[in-house]
């Protein structure tokens, strides 16, 4: 059955109640720092101790990536009171620059409102307006464009290969924690790969299914949504998207290899276009197969939703035109096995709209081959 993981929410904050508490904590921390508890401090200077190679690698990686990480916030009027000047920017999230001309990747829920104007804040405090160029029709991904006319090229990140990530590998996260502390860094390891999560947004009330996520114990705090997950080479390997509400150090990120087709689409079409089959599906597990009395324990079974307007195969879609039917099990796409670790949507997204694929399908206990011409999400 589909793994509905309750208690997960987007790493996103707009709550002033939470922020007000954080402001009090900020002043308290300032008082505590004067209590003389810094055992390695002399005359306000930190005595440099032995720095291990691993620590040096992480420091170098942070310094490499951090200039390209920005806080994404809603634009608002100038504060009219002393207290308001200490409040964080509304709608805090994170993004990272992916090109020298100022394209930014972030989560779609960070810039969810079409009526609001957003800006990017760099770690040095400089601010620039951004335009929401495109939002992914399926994934929690958005592309922004920085309104920048300077003479110098902007800093931008380098992508790694998320398929090569290993469980136990060290990573770190950079983000606008609590919408107050921009470019905060937390570190941890890759806890697992290929996670399926059903996440919700406390503030927007929206729900979304995620497949193939990276799980990490590096703290993904509220406000980190859209920030980079980085390896020790300084390569971005994922984008923070959700965190567990009732657990410590259980966060999730979209693999960077799922972001690469987005940028390719922007470059080719000027917006995010996805190849689509036009089907609803459930990834089969061995327990699902046993429960449904299906002879295979892998693949994507085409199923309808809870409502009348959620058919297994959308009328007039690519799948409908090719003859796909409800309860068909898609086993392979062009010879590539469909599985929980390599779900149907991930395989399809390696193609372009209008490309033809050959599906191996299990129907009524028999395997058949079906040709499908993919269509465009836009």
On whether both 136 and 246 belong to a single domain, the answer is yes
Between 369 and 181, the more confident residue is 369
125 φψ region: left (φ > 0), alpha (ψ -120 to 50), beta (else) = left
pLDDT at 129 exceeding the cut of 60: yes
Q: What is the mean pLDDT of the chain?
A: 81
**Number of structural domains the chain divides into:** 2
Which has the minimum average pLDDT: 23-32, 166-175, 205-214, 249-258? 23-32
226, 93 in Cβ contact below 8 A? yes
What pLDDT is attached to residue 200? 61
Q: Do 146 and 189 fall into the same domain?
A: yes
Burial 128-141 (b: 16+ CB within 10 A, else e): bebebebbbeebbb
Structural domain boundaries enclosing 324: 274-376
Report the distance separating Cα 242 and Cα 201, nearest Å: 9
- Whether 33 is in a domain gets the answer no
CB atoms under 10 Å from CB of 106, counted, come to: 27
In this structure, is residue 314 part of a structural domain? Answer: yes
Q: Which of 66, 109, 191, 258 is catalytic?
A: 109
CA distance 158 to 65: 8
User: Do 255 and 317 belong to one domain?
Assistant: no
Q: What pLDDT is stored for residue 113 in this prediction?
A: 84
Whether this model's pTM surpasses 0.85: no
Domain boundary among 240, 272, 304: 272
- Of the listed ranges 87-101, 230-244, 288-302, 308-322, the one predicted with least confidence: 87-101
C-alpha angle 132/136/139, rounded to 5°?
Answer: 130
Q: Are residues 226 and 303 in the same domain?
A: no
Q: Residue 103 forms beta bridges with which residues?
A: 145
- pLDDT-derived band at 378 (thresholds 50, 70, 90) equals low
- Residue 25 has a pLDDT of 35
From first CA to last CA, the distance across the chain in angstroms is 30
**CB of 361 within 8 A of CB of 325?**
no
Lowest mean pLDDT, pick from 89-98, 227-236, 282-291: 89-98
Query: What is the C-alpha separation between 81 and 79, in angstroms, rounded?
Result: 6
Confidence of residue 322 (pLDDT cuts 50, 70, 90): very high
**Position 104 confidence tier, pLDDT thresholds 50, 70, 90:** very high
According to the model, what pLDDT value does residue 38 have? Answer: 44
Confidence check: pLDDT of 181 > 80: no
Please give the average per-residue pLDDT across 81-95, as a whole number: 61
Q: What is the pLDDT of residue 45?
A: 47
Cα(96)–Cα(106) distance, integer angstroms = 7
**Is residue 3 a contact partner of residue 285, using CB atoms and an 8 Å limit?**
no
Tell me the average pLDDT across 296-306: 89
CB 217 within 8 A of CB 190: no
Picking from 272, 307, 338, the residue at the C-terminal end of a domain is 272
Asked if the model's pLDDT at residue 227 lies above 70, the reply is yes
Q: Are residues 166 and 216 in the same domain?
A: yes
Residue 196 above 50 pLDDT?
A: yes
Residues pairing with 142 in the sheet: 106, 135
137 or 100, greater pLDDT: 100
Decide: 146 and 102 in contact? Cβ < 8 Å.
yes
Extract the tokens encoding 264. Answer: 């390719």
* Mean pLDDT computed over 187-207: 74
Is residue 93 included in any domain, yes or no? yes
For 320-349, b where at least 16 C-beta lie within 10 A, e where not — what string?
bebebeeebbbbbbeeeebbbebbbbbbbb
Greater confidence, 153 or 330?
330
CATH of the domain at 293: 2.30.42.10
CA distances 331 to 175, 347, 373, Å, are 39, 12, 17
Q: Which one of 136, 140, 320, 328 is the catalytic residue? A: 140
**337 forms bridges with which residues in the sheet?**
332
- Region 273-290 average pLDDT: 89
Within 13 Å of residue 117, how many CA atoms lie on the same side as its CB? 6
CB 330 within 8 A of CB 281: yes
Answer with the residue of higher pLDDT: 85 or 4.
85
pLDDT > 90? residue 160: yes
Q: Are residues 165 and 237 in the same domain?
A: yes
Instruction: Specify whether 324 is located in the same domain as 360.
Output: yes
Shared domain for 213 and 325, answered yes or no, is: no
Q: Would residue 148 count as lying in a domain? A: yes
Asked if residue 46 is part of any domain, the answer here is: no
User: Which among 228, 248, 272 is the end of a domain?
Assistant: 272
Residue carrying the six token digits 């079906």: 370
Condensed to tens digits (0 to 9), the pLDDT of residues 27-58 reads 333 333 444 444 444 544 444 555 567 688 88
Over the range 171-195, which residues count as b (16 or more CB within 10 Å of their CB) and which as e?
bbbbbbbbbbbbbbbbbbbbbebbb
Q: Residues 217, 339: one domain?
A: no
CB 226 within 8 Å of CB 94: yes
What are 302's two structure tokens?
């085409």
User: Do 70 and 146 belong to one domain?
Assistant: yes
Strand partners, 14: none
| Catalytic hit among 66, 162, 225, 339 | 225
* Residue 355 confidence (pLDDT): 94
Which CATH number covers residue 208? 2.40.10.120
- The pLDDT of residue 254 is above 90: yes
Active site (annotated) includes residue 140: yes
pLDDT of residue 229: 97
Does residue 164 sit within a domain?
yes
């Amino acid at each position: 059955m589909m793994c509905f993981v309750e208690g997960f929410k987007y790493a996103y904050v707009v709550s002033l109640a939470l922020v007000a508490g954080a402001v009090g904590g900020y002043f308290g921390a300032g008082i505590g720092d004067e209590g003389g508890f810094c055992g390695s401090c002399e005359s306000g200077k930190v005595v440099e101790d032995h720095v291990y190679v691993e620590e040096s690698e992480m420091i170098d990686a942070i310094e490499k990536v951090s200039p390209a990480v920005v806080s994404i916030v809603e634009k608002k009027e100038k504060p009219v009171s002393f207290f308001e000047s200490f409040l964080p920017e509304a709608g805090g999230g994170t993004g990272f620059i992916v090109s020298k001309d100022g394209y930014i990747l972030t989560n779609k829920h960070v810039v969810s409102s079409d009526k609001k104007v957003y800006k990017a804040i760099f770690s040095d405090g400089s601010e620039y307006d951004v335009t929401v160029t495109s939002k992914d029709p399926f994934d929690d991904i958005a592309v922004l464009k920085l309104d920048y006319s300077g003479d110098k090229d902007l800093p931008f990140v380098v992508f790694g290969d998320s398929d090569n990530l290993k469980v136990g590998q060290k990573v770190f996260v950079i983000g606008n924690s609590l919408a107050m502390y921009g470019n905060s860094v937390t570190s941890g390891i890759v806890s697992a790969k290929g996670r399926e999560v059903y996440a919700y947004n406390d503030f927007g009330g929206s729900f979304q299914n995620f497949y193939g996520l990276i799980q990490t114990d590096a703290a993904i705090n509220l406000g980190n949504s859209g920030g980079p997950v980085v390896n020790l080479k300084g390569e971005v390997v994922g984008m923070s998207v959700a965190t567990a509400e009732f657990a410590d150090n259980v966060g999730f990120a979209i693999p960077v290899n799922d972001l690469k087709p987005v940028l390719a689409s922007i470059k080719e079409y000027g917006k995010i276009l996805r190849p689509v089959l036009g089907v609803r599906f459930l990834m089969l597990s061995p327990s699902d197969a046993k429960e449904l009395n299906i002879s295979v324990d892998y693949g994507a079974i085409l199923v309808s939703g809870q409502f009348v307007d959620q058919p297994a195969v959308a009328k007039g879609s690519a799948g409908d035109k090719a003859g796909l039917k409800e309860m068909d099990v898609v086993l392979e796409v062009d010879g590539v096995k469909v599985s929980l670790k390599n779900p149907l949507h991930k395989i399809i997204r390696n193609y372009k709209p209008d490309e033809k694929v050959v599906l191996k399908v299990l129907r009524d206990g028999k395997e058949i081959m079906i040709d499908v011409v993919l269509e465009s999400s836009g």
